[in-house]
């Protein structure tokens, strides 16, 4: 019987430590240790109703995607000719309305909390971009309804889109193109940006309240390269 006596050790060699995979793993472990990615404790100041709207926005997006997937499975004309299809379309519509309602409250809440403080500016920016991309996703949904609403919105919106020059490649009167944007490209963009936003929230944690004496503070803070607790 032979015994493996190779020089295999648990210590990473220079070769291994330079791997893209190893570097990515180390960066992920550093940025998102398990208790930060999925914490079971939060600062006591989180006791406020406003924090509910972030998670409500995320779960509403989940319902938008689930109901949209059902509509996609059955095809774009299904909801016009089927009672069940019309009901699923109604679920899709109201989950979108809920999504935007919760997101706008979440956005205003974060504004009044100045939630960009403490090196959270990218968290704020991804939230605003997520809102803007979601507006585009909803807009293409309205264009994809194949009814009077779609006709009116598309023939009106073309003037705004064309004025920017985007109408050269982004034709709101082209149902096939708008449907693809609505069910493929923009949902992917929303999920990626919203996912990045949630990861940044987990990375930096929730922003602390303003301290009462901050206006008089003469303290200094660490440079932005250092992450806050």
222 binds another protein (CB under 8 A): yes
Q: Residue 9 or 220: which CB sits closer to another protein?
A: 220
112 closest CA partner among 228, 211, 216, 209? 209
Contact with another protein (CB under 8 A): which of 68, 106, 150, 200?
A: 150
The count of chain residues that interact with another protein, using the rule CB under 8 A, is 100
Minimum CB separation from another protein for residue 4, in Å?
A: 43
63 forms part of the interface with another protein (CB under 8 A): yes
- Contact between 56 and another protein (CB under 8 A)? yes
What secondary structure does DSSP assign to 73-137, as a single string? HH-TTHHHH-HHHHHHHHHHHHHHHHHHHHHHHHHHHHHHTTTTTTT-HHHHHHHHHHHHHHHHH
Site residues for another protein, window 86-125 (CB under 8 A)? Answer: 86-87, 89-95, 97-98, 100, 104, 109, 111-114, 116-118, 121, 124-125
Task: State the DSSP code for 183.
Answer: I
Q: Which tokens hold the place of 64?
A: 């938008």
The sign of the torsion formed by the CA atoms of 116, 196, 161, 138 equals: negative
Q: Which is nearer to another protein, 10 or 219 (CB)?
A: 219
When the beta carbons of 13 and 224 are compared against another protein, the nearer one is 224
Report if residue 50 touches another protein, rule: CB under 8 A: yes
Q: b/e for 159-192, b at 16 or more Cβ within 10 A? A: eebeeeeebeebbbeebebbbebbbeebbebbee
- Residues numbered 179-208 forming contacts with another protein, rule: CB under 8 A: 179, 207-208
For 25, the token pair is 């793993």
Q: Is 46 in the site for another protein (CB under 8 A)?
A: yes
Stretch that binds another protein, among 2-10, 11-19, 61-69, 181-189 (CB under 8 A): 61-69
């Amino acid at each position: 019987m032979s015994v493996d006596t190779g020089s295999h050790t648990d210590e990473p060699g220079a070769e291994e430590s330079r791997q893209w995979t190893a570097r990515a793993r180390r960066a992920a472990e550093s940025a998102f240790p398990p208790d930060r990615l999925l914490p079971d404790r939060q600062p006591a100041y989180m006791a406020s109703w406003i924090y509910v709207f972030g998670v409500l926005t995320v779960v509403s997006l989940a319902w938008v995607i689930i109901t949209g997937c059902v509509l996609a499975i059955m095809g774009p004309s299904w909801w016009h000719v089927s009672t069940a299809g019309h009901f699923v379309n109604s679920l899709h519509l109201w989950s979108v309305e809920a999504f935007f309602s919760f997101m706008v409250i979440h956005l205003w809440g974060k504004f009044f909390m100045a939630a960009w403080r403490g090196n959270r500016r990218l968290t704020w920016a991804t939230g605003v971009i997520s809102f803007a991309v979601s507006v585009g996703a909803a807009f293409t949904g309205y264009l994809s309804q194949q009814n009077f609403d779609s006709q009116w919105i598309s023939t009106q919106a073309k003037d705004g889109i064309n004025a920017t020059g985007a109408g050269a490649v982004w034709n709101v009167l082209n149902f096939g193109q708008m449907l693809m944007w609505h069910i493929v490209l923009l949902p992917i963009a929303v999920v990626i940006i919203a996912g990045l936003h949630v990861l940044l929230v987990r990375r930096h944690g929730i922003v602390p309240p303003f301290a009462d004496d901050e206006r008089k503070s003469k303290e200094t803070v660490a440079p932005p390269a250092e992450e806050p607790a």
